[in-house]
Structure 1
């Protein structure tokens, strides 16, 4: 079926009922109002006390069927399900709620028993979105207490055929933040050298790089190249959340170098569940892409 034929078929559903003579499962009541206000953080005194009203934005809450389906009681008309089936046949198998609009005529109060009718108000022409191509379907629900209209709720969905997504390029490892305080360290990494700072006053070694000595405060320093020998001082296994370029689960280790300082890194060449505290490791440099080389560690085996 071409677009014009499909659109004409869809437009034929406009004005047809989606629910007739529905009634709320419960009267408007103070406990539901209290729960709503607590969840929303709304302390308006109008919603408490003997003259309390319900928050206007609860309009839809009184007509929702929950796990029991649409509405508490009343007739579900078949037109809406038929319309969705037509869209399914046309390949619009995915759905997303897009927005709602509400109009309030008068406040609802505890004890009010609501009734409602829902009509298919409009079906759009074919629209193309980032999600895919499909049709917006808008329903209008008139909510009453007895014969009196108290509010109107419009609800809009997009039924669409999901867009084909191009295969995403492989994610790159995050880039380190290089600044004037640590630029020398990353220059050393590019040369496959793990450089530690050494205080020019007290000779204390430090890592990560800092602008001054943690022991004596001296701002002067030179560098010492680490031997690359160390042991796993501690580690954690990351399962969640996933990060681009990493495949959980994986171990993040804190390695104590032979020089006495510690560095956070990876242990490569072994399963994450085989990493152990006290395990001897040796430094190596791994190139991840044209721009990024990182110091990592490998278990020392006999």
Structure 2
């Protein structure tokens, strides 16, 4: 009887080891079939459509709150976005932006409260180099701009359309330092007046990831050329990873070229289901 028990234990242990080795082999095979991906620290204010080098099945939900102080009014903005990767390297995103305004004092005219816009974006990473720790991507954003809430039913719902093709280049320096450039034209079409204007976005970011954590600190420099006029805002920022699914982002906006604009603060909740 004792021999039978010993044989049973041995065979059970052998079976358990075989199962574990098989599962581990399958996991290694699955990992081996995934495309290469370089981990980049990405901007928090003008975030990307999806991680650079996205892998099929990745998805993320973001909720953002922005408070900006201007000379004549305060702005409270909210956004919600959903992004996902239907195939390797391709990211898709849908975003809704809302804006609400409160007069700071006096009788100055202020913008209308509204659903600011809907954004439909795509992004494809066409080069991922683990050797050079770099990723290149192209993308496109279609923006629908809406009228104020109080004008619903009295005017056309969509007041403008914007077209934004863009290019992204990201580089990781060693294990902890990251740089990224996001640039492209934005063609804005006013549907009521049938006027189209073209602006340029040139955004650069510099980040440092804290070793052994998912946290980072850095700065995002948002630059825009609008009607021949250059505008720039510095956005120091930090990302705190609470667990493998949830993170929060904190951003401060410091306008450099616009005297009428005050500082702003932005808060983002990032959830990966």
* Interval containing the TM-score (normalised by the shorter chain): under 0.3
Q: Considering Cα pairs closer than 8 Å and 6+ residues apart, tell me whether 1 or 2 has the greater RCO.
A: 2
What TM-score do the two structures reach when normalised by structure 1?
0.22
Which structure would you say has the larger Rg? Answer: 1
Q: Say which structure is richer in strand.
A: 2
What TM-score do the two structures reach when normalised by structure 2?
0.24
